[in-house]
Chain A
Amino acid sequence: MSETRGVLLPAYVLADESGSMSPYLEELSNGLVSLCEGLRAEPMVAAKLRLAVLGFSDDVQVRLAVADMRTESTLPQVRIRGLTSYKAVFEDLLHRIPADVQWLRGEGYKVHRPVVFLLSDGQPTDGGSWRGPHAALTDKAQTPTAPNIIACGIGDAQADTMLEVATRPEFAFVAKAGTDLGEAISEFFHSLTASLVASGHALNSANPHLVVNRPDQFTMAIDEV
C-alpha cells in the first residue's frame, strides 16, 4: 500500500426522529447546525474527521453522508416521523460502517475505530429485537470495524437501556430528571462537538483515545440504575 493520505475518525450521529421528538424539532435542527459550524471553525480537527448524520425512527435515513466538514456546505435536515426502531439503527450500522471504512481505506486513508453518538428520547418500540444486530455490531470478532457507541437518553429513554446500547458504561448518559428536553438536546450537541474536537487532537497523539464529554444536564446512566 502506498503512503497514507491521513488517519480519519468516522463519526456517526444518530438522531431520533420519532414522533415524540416533534416539540423539539427546532432544537434538534439548531443542534446539528451548531455541530457543523463548530467543526468548520476547527479546520485542522475537521480534516481528520468524517461526519455522517443519520435520522432514525421506523428506518434509518441519511441526512448527511460521510462528509468532510471543511468543504461540506449542506446542512442536515431532520424530519419527524414514525416510531423508535433501534433494530433499524443497528442493522443499518452493521452494513454501513464496514462499507464506509472500506471506502475510506480505498481513498488512501487509515481509519480509527468509528464512533457513534446516539440521541434518543424514548424506549425502543421494537421490543428486544434490536439486541441481535446490536450484539453483532459491537462484537469485534464478528465486526472488526465495531464502533464505540455513546448513548444519550432524554425524555422516556431509560438509563438501563442506554447502558445496554453504549459500548462502555461511561459512554451512557441520561438527562437529569426535570431537565428541559430542548435544553438537553442543545447540550448534547455542545458536548458532541467538544468531544469530537478533543478526540481529533487525542487520536493523533502517541496515546490515541476517544474523548467523551458528559453533556451538561446529563448524568452518567450507571449512576441512575
Chain B
Amino acid sequence: MNPNNGLMSAGAPNASDPPQPQPWQRITVGTPGPEFEALPPGQYDFDFPDTECDGWSTPELAMRFASVRGAKHRYYRQPRQDAARAAVHTATGSVVFAVADGVSSASNSEQGAVAACRAALERMLHLLDHAAGPVDLRDVACHAADRLRELTRWRLGGRDPEFSEVADLYATTLVAGMVRPHPEGPLVELCRIGDSGAWALDRSRGQYLPLFPTKTGTDVLLVSSTVTPLPHVPDPLEQTSRRLSSNDALMIGTDGFADPLGDGDGQVGSLFARHLAYPLPPLWLAHLLDFSRETFDDDRTLLTVWPTAPGGQR
C-alpha cells in the first residue's frame, strides 16, 4: 500500500476539475494593520470563539450579526470580549437583540458581555409576552445588571458582592432593544449603557444617521471619553426610538466598529453602505467586519436589521 496515494490524488490538479475558489482575502481599508496568525486565548476561554455570526429573516425583518476578535486580542492571547445575541418574539414578530462590549479592565468581561446580552434578551421576550405597549427598557437594563451581580455572588460562594466586585469581574457596555413590525414601518426601541453606537443607514444614499450621540464629536480637540458600563445603570437611562423607512437599515455596533466608521463619510462607511444595502450572508458580514486598517485593533461587533416588506424587499 502506498501511504501517499490518498493525499497525492486529493492534491493533484486535474484538467477536468472545476475551478477551485480562492480563500477569502482579508479586506483592507487604507493602510492595513500587521498580518499574523492569531494566538489562542487563555485555556479556559474556549466558550468565546474568535468569530461568531448569525442571520435569519422573518416575513417583515431580516437580521444579521457578526462579532470578530480584534487584532490586539489575537496578538496578546485574549478572548473576544464583544458579544451579540438576537431572537424573534414569536407572538409579535418582533426582533429583539443585544450587543455588548466587555470592558477590558474587568477580568472576565467576555463572560459579562455574553451574560448581559442573554439577560437582556430573556427580559425583553418576557416583557413582550406580558404587555402590548412600549417595553420598559430600564427594567431590561436593570435585569442585565442583576444578572452580573448574580454571577458575582456565585463566584464569591454566595456572598453579596460589592458594586466594585461586580464591575471588576464583569463590567460591560450594552445596547439592547427591539424592532417591532408595524403597518407604518418597523418601530425601533433602544437603550444604551456605555459607548456602543446605533445608526439608521439610509441605504439609497449611503448615509449614517447616529441614533445616540457619538462619543467624540468631530470638533473635539482631544479624545477624553470615559465609559460608565454595567453593572451601573444610569438614571435617566439613555433611550431612543425611531420608525424605519423602507430605505433604512438599523445598525448596532461596538466601538471597534464605530471608531473606524467615524461619521460614515469615509472608506469604512462607503464599504459598509455598499455591502449592507441588502441582507448579506452572515459569514460574509463577519469577513467584512474583519477588515484590516492600521491602529483599529479592537473587537468589532455589528448587528443589522432590514425591513423586508413592504417596500424593503431583499
Contact = CB atoms under 8 A, between A and B. Distances in A.
A64 B266 CA distance: 32
A73 interface: no
B297 A3 contact: no
Interface in B180-230: 194-195, 216, 218, 220-227, 229
A145 B223 CA distance: 10
B267 A206 contact: no
A5 B32 CA distance: 11
Nearest to A113: B222
Interface stretch (A43-51, A55-63, A153-161, A166-174): A43-51
A66 B187 CA distance: 49
Range of interface residues on chain B?
Answer: 35 or more
A202 B31 CA distance: 23
Contacts of B220: 110
B295 A101 contact: no
Contact of A110 (B223, B227, B297): B223
A1 B266 CA distance: 9
Given A6-B295, A206-B104, A207-B105, A1 B30 contact: no
Given A3-B261, A47-B294, A110-B216, A205 B103 contact: yes
B266 A3 contact: yes
Given A112-B223, A205-B103, A206-B195, A2 B298 contact: no
Contacts of B30: 5
B165 interface: no
Interface in A8-39: 8
Nearest to B254: A206
A44 B33 contact: yes
A113 B223 CA distance: 7
A101 B221 contact: yes
A10 B77 CA distance: 27
B268 A206 contact: no
Nearest to B217: A1
A111 to B, nearest CB: 6
B265 A2 contact: yes
A201 B295 contact: no
A208 B223 contact: yes
A48 B294 CA distance: 9
A48 B296 CA distance: 9
Nearest to B29: A3
Interface in B159-183: 173
A221 B120 CA distance: 48
Interface residues of A, number: 28
Interface centre among A48, A206, A208 (most CB of B within 10 A): A206
A27 B259 CA distance: 40
A216 B57 CA distance: 59
Interface in A161-209: 201-202, 204-209
Contacts of A5: 30-31, 294-295
A2 B101 contact: no
B48 interface: no
Interface in B236-280: 255, 259-269
A44 B297 contact: yes
Nearest to B218: A1
Interface centre among A2, A5, A105, A207 (most CB of B within 10 A): A207
A3 B223 contact: no
A74 interface: no
Contacts of A144: 221-222
Contact of B104 (A1, A111, A145, A205): A205
B102 to A, nearest CB: 8
B289 to A, nearest CB: 16
Contact of A7 (B101, B259, B264): B259
B34 interface: yes
A2 B261 CA distance: 9
14 contacts: A3-B263, A3-B265, A7-B223, A44-B34, A44-B71, A44-B75, A44-B297, A105-B221, A110-B220, A112-B222, A144-B222, A206-B103, A206-B229, A208-B226
Top 6 nearest A-B pairs (CB, nearest first) are A3-B266, A6-B295, A3-B262, A1-B218, A206-B227, A2-B266
Given A6-B295, A205-B104, A207-B105, 6 more contacts: A3-B260, A3-B263, A43-B34, A44-B34, A110-B220, A111-B222
